[in-house]
Amino acid sequence: MCGISGYVSERIFDDTLILESQHHRGPDSSGTYHELLEGTNINVVLNHNRLSIIDLSEAGSQPMFTEDKNYAIIYNGEVYNFEQLRDKYLKNIPLKSKTDTEVILYLYRLLGINFVKELNGDFAISIFDRIKKKIILLRDRFGVKPLYYYFRNKTLVFASEIKAILATGIDFRLNDENLEKYFVFKYVPEEGTLYKDIYRLSPAHALEYDIINDELNIERYWTLNKNSEYKKLSYDDAKKKLFELLGDSVKIRLMSDVPVGTFLSGGIDSSIIAWYLRNNDKIIHYTARKSEADLKKEGTSSDFYYAELFAKQFNLKMIPVDISSQEANFDLIRKTIFYSDDLIADGSQIPSYLITKEATKISKVMLSGMGADELFFGYKNHLQIMLSQYLDKFPRFISRGIAGYLKNIKQGKGFMKSYRRHLHILGKYYGYSNLKYGFFGLVGDYKNSMSVIKSPNDICLPIFAKYFNDSEDTFDSTTRFELNNFLVKNLHYVDRMCMANSVEGRVPFLDYRLAEFAFSIPREYKLSGTGVTKRIIKDTYKEYLPQGIINRKKAGFGMPLRSIFSSKDKVYELLERDFFGSFDIFSVDNIDSLISKHISGHEDNSAIIYSLICFQEWYKMAKLVK
């Protein structure tokens, strides 16, 4: 895991500032390569901040070159099958290191850009091809590793984080057009950001920049598709295949020359990963611990209780990390926003930061259970979709009547608050077209999120319309939608909060082989007709894990936002009303209304309130031209 950055331009930027901006991503060493292309005034610069994980020697330093100096690479991530690829393609090449970096470089020289299809890993790669005079940028299939770029006026700047692009000193402005998307999705989806002219290279995409002709081309190199072999599997055979694929995915992600730990939430996904590692006494497992008062206000179960139960049964080394509402102060919010830099409003950033801050004392690599909910239908919105489809089978006057009742449920008061919120959303949007299936998965209410912005047009609907139509099964559409949007957001905060503390994050459930398997098996294997979420995971591992973990109610991994925002004084302590009043684009009256309805318990607008606070603090820190 590292930080990469570079540029192609007639201008020269301050490489020291660029490297310093990503020092946290690679504090072990740094390197720079600068070339003035012969016969031109065009500079090609590659920078690298190194976090040493594999081959800790100097031989692993970057930028790295082929022996003929015609190809150079800077790279962030891990390719878990690099040894097999080395043996298959590079037996006759005398490599100087034991790194995957060098293997990737020579694979490009041998196979061209299509080599990326051979990789099983998490990566952001930049290759300078001196023969073709091209810069190549590549991002892994699911976007585990970040990569951003700026392209304008014959200048291409790219980096692992936006702050490195900002370090060039180029003037940037707020992208007002993406504000509405931010408040609806709690981050800017697809390739956009809140900075004008700065873009996110999408997962599974390759960017080629022809330096001489000033031509930039971006293409997708991989798409998640169904494998007919998996579609024919019986349920018992599918369980065996899941066990095999996930076991191998965890195994290969232990590849490291530094200590490895895990995020242990006490949920089934992280517990499965920990179970595979139960006989490895070098692994440390880290668990978030909320206070009893916060759990009561949240209406959720205790991760720590179940994680401790699991750790005791298998004699695991576990370290608890407190994440009570007391930790949600301005200092910590600002810190996580600073490291996030491509703004997202996700309460899970803070516990992730606190856990990796503790973990970095021992562990330099952390395994996460992220991705399982998207692939195997583990979220409550998946149940909402099923309930909505069941309602469709009733006579229209009955289904509409039930939806009307659900719409009027008070979300912040009463028994089973976590379910009441989802039932309210189901009732509120039941009468909409297929787009409602996307609304169900949003963090926060769709219309309420839109209301904070004064906008005559709904620019978010086309995003939902790309996925939810009559041409594909609704659950297949949901998987594509979540993998291309919310998973990207979740992977974003895991990467940023890990790297804020110089720790590498890995995600075994997002091995592309496992993802193809999950997408191919029948929906009822994943979400049963009776509403059992992640059915095949639970049935496969029920004989290995405590029943309490298999059967527990899902609890989101995040700060107790509902507890934090349970009083008006606390909300306005963090949110500055006058700040939003200084923008023409914000509706302060609607913001006040959302807060009042939240405090009264009629609505749950905690995610929207948090997104406003995050934007407020991000804008103050952002390097924008006013």
Catalytic residues: 2
Residue 475 to residues 15, 377, 378, 436, 482, Cα–Cα distance (Å): 47, 9, 12, 13, 10
Backbone angles phi, psi at 564, to 5 degrees: -60, -40
Q: Which amino acid is at 614?
A: C
Q: How many CA atoms lie within 13 A of 294 on its CB side?
A: 20
CB 121 within 8 A of CB 81: yes
Q: Which residues contact 107 (CB under 8 A, 6 or more apart)?
A: 85, 89, 90, 115, 118
Q: Which residues contact 94 (CB under 8 A, 6 or more apart)?
A: none
Kind of pairing between the strands at 43-50 and 2-9 = antiparallel
- Residue 508 token pair: 């075994």
CA end-to-end span of the chain: 35
**Residue 261, SS3 per DSSP:** strand
Q: Judge if the upstream peptide bond of residue 351 is cis by omega within 30 degrees of 0.
A: no
Rg (CA), the chain: 24
- Residue 183 token pair: 């408040």
**Residue 62, SS3 per DSSP:** coil
- Residue 509 token pair: 């459930």
- Distance between CA atoms of residues 178 and 180, nearest Å: 6
Work out whether the CA dihedral 550, 551, 556, 557 comes out positive or negative: negative
Q: Where are the alpha helices (DSSP H) in 299-329?
A: 303-314
Q: Which amino acid is at 452?
A: V
- Read out DSSP for 467-508? T-STTS-HHHHHHHHHHHTHHHHHHHHHHHHHHHTT-EEE-G
Q: Which residues contact 611 (CB under 8 A, 6 or more apart)?
A: 182, 183, 186, 345, 444, 449
- Residue 623 token pair: 């390097």
Letter string b/e over residues 508-523, b meaning 16 or more CB atoms within 10 A of that residue's CB: bbbbbebbbbbbbbeb
